[in-house]
Amino acid sequence: MKIVLYNTLTRQKEEFKSIEKNQVGLYTCGPTVYNYAHIGNLRTYVFEDVLRKTLEFNGYKVNHVENITDVGHLTDDADLGEDKIEIAAKKEKKDAWELSKFYTQAFRRDMKSLNIQEPHTWCRATDHIAEQIATIKKIETNGYTYQTSDGIYFDTSKMPDYGKFANLDIKNLRAGARVDMGEKKNPTDFALWKFSGEKKRQMEWDSPWGTGFPGWHIECSSMSTKYLGIPFDIHCGGIDHISVHHTNEIAQIWAADKKPMARFWIHGEFLVIDKNRMGKSEGNFITLQTLIDKGYNPLAYRYLILNTHYRQKLNFTWEALDAAQNALEKLYQSLIDLDSPATVSDNYYNDFLDVINDDLNTPKALALMWDLLKSECPLEMKTKTLFKFDEILGLNLEKEYQLTKSKLDNIPDKIKNLLTTRATARNQKNWGLSDKLRDQIDQAGYLVEDTADGQKLSIK
Ligand code: AMP
Ligand code: ZN
């Protein structure tokens, strides 16, 4: 089946073709673990999860690699700030290693709650210092670096195509360069290695240039290509990564190996709140745990994400989350009427593939799911087809179905007796007693509806 994806490299939708038959190398920029992930970050990971599952749905064997940034991500993208992990460790009076481990675990918990599949390989920046030094050495040997008093920098003026990926206006950037460029030669130059200098750091390593730590961009260039080769198939991240992080990753691999780094670059749009970007440093951030504490099912948030295309901004509101939670509950409720899964509907399966393979059109996929539920499709076919859709949607439909069925199959005798008594009461037109019994059934966690075929029981 043909899969079409929007490639930032060419600024158009392109048919995806893997480098090796039936296999895909996928790299997703992972979290910087100095704090909890916010729901904006998690939007990006859900989109990447849908991408991976779509590839698998189409029969590809995906090799998914994701990094953990536990060193080198500075507070200022222009390389003048400080290391986010070190600052957080100081503030929380914690060991930097412990701090990053703690937030890594928290991140993995969030992934689990949102049904985001773990990558095949997790790679921590601090476990790959030697690889990063080796890449910097190659870049140095090829003549793209210079040294300042605080580090080894990449000279972007040596690369005629630097910034092409992000459509950067280099001329104007240079003309409008800020005075606080430090010792950098060009505003777009960036650090490959930073010296510890006078500052007391918890995380530092020896290198051919002096004790210090690697820059954030070199980590992703070195680790992605170590595990996936050069070039590899797909590199993902949020749109904020286009202009600096991914531009610099591409520059580094070009300078080190004279090869393009990846074939497809795919970026997810932002989650915004009151029109502002949600950010860990912005102070406006909401975590998944906050949603859970307020009584939301984390998968209601996944539903909310799926309902907007990944290349559109998503404005977070509590009303929208309420609507998503209602939709999810309605969906779970509708599973009760279905029969044991049998065969998949070819028509719906093909329509689903058409929409999901068209640049991951999840809003249309959700609409198709509702359409299927309302359709005349046989009940056992509906069930199986829904479960198939859910391999990508990830809304726990099969689990919920089994749970509901087993609860209905194991109705306690007490409820059965209440139902029998209520049926008699209704026959005798004793509405007062009938209502009383309904309340008792309700309090025990079941809903009773009166239909033309008699009483119908469901789980609340
Ligand atoms: P970080 O942990 O800051 O390195 O970011 C992790 C991922 O979240 C990256 O892919 C970012 O591009 C992405 N990201 C950051 N802020 C947002 C946001 N408000 N909405 C969606 N994705 C975001
Ligand atoms: Zn990265």
pLDDT, tens only, 27-61: 999 999 998 999 999 999 999 999 999 999 999 99
pLDDT of residue 330: 94
| pLDDT tens digits, one per residue of 343-360 | 999 999 999 999 999 999
CA count, 13 A, side-chain hemisphere, 7: 14
Q: In this model, does residue 285 exceed pLDDT 90?
A: no
Q: Which atom of ligand 1 is nearest to the CA of 278?
A: 19
Q: Which atom of ligand 1 is nearest to the CA of 271?
A: 20
Q: How many helices (DSSP H) and strands (DSSP E) are in the chain?
A: 16, 16
Is the separation of the CB atoms in 301 and 288 below 8 Å?
A: yes
Report residue 185: phi and psi, to 5°. -80, -35
List pLDDT tens digits, range 248-272.
999 999 999 999 999 999 999 999 9
pLDDT above 80 (res 275): no
Q: Which long-range contacts (CB under 8 A, 24 or more apart) does 11-14 make?
A: 13/359, 14/264
**Of residues 337 and 186, more confidently modeled:** 186
Among the ranges given (36-50, 158-172, 175-189), the one the predictor scored with the smallest mean pLDDT? 175-189
Secondary structure (3-state) at 206 = coil
pLDDT of residue 268: 98
Q: Residue 186 is which amino acid? A: N
Ligand 1, atom 5: closest residue by C-alpha: 31
Helix (H, G, I), strand (E, B) or coil at 447: strand
Give pLDDT, residue 133: 98
High-pLDDT (> 90) share of the chain, %: 73
CA distance 54 to 47: 10
* Residue 79, pLDDT score: 65
Instruction: Tell me the residues surrounding ligand 2 (ion) with CB < 5 Å.
Output: 29, 220
In three-state secondary structure terms, 124 is strand
**Which pLDDT belongs to residue 178?**
63
- Residue 214: strand, helix, or coil: strand
Does 342 or 364 have the greater pLDDT score?
A: 364
Q: Give the mean pLDDT of 183-207.
A: 89
Which secondary structure element, helix H or strand E, spans residue 423, and what is its range? helix 413-427
Ligand 1 geometric centre to CA of 283 (Å):
14
**Ligand 1 closest atom vs CA 241:** 12
311 within ligand 1 shell (Cβ under 6 A): no
Say how far residue 367 (Cα) sits from the centre of its chain: 21
Best mutation site among 32, 34, 41, 116 for ligand 1 pocket (most ligand atoms within 8 Å of CB): 41
Distance 37 CA to ligand 1 centre (A): 8
Closest CA to 243 of 153, 158, 170, 186: 170
C-alpha dist (Å) from residue 305 to 71, 270, 296, 312, 342: 30, 11, 14, 10, 30
Q: Where are the beta strands (DSSP E) in 307-348?
A: 314-315
* Residue length of the chain: 460
Residue to substitute in 8, 44, 107 for testing ligand 1 pocket (most ligand atoms within 8 angstroms of CB)? 44
pLDDT, tens only, 93-133: 888 889 899 999 999 999 999 999 999 999 999 999 999 99
Average pLDDT, the chain: 92
- Hey, what are 137's tokens? 């050495």
Q: Which two tokens stand for residue 178?
A: 């800020």
List all residues 6 or more positions away from 127 whose beta carbon is below 8 Å from its beta carbon. Answer: none
**179 pLDDT higher than 60:** no
Question: Region 175-189: what's the mean pLDDT?
Answer: 80
Span 394-445, pLDDT tens digits: 999 999 999 888 888 888 889 988 998 998 999 899 999 999 999 999 998 8
pLDDT confidence band for 73 (50 / 70 / 90): confident
Comparing 113 with 171, which gets the higher pLDDT?
A: 113
Angle of helix 397-409 versus helix 318-334 axis, rounded to 10: 50
Q: How confident is the model at residue 72 (pLDDT cuts 50, 70, 90)?
A: confident
pLDDT recorded at residue 78: 61
Per-residue pLDDT tens over the stretch 215-226: 999 999 999 999
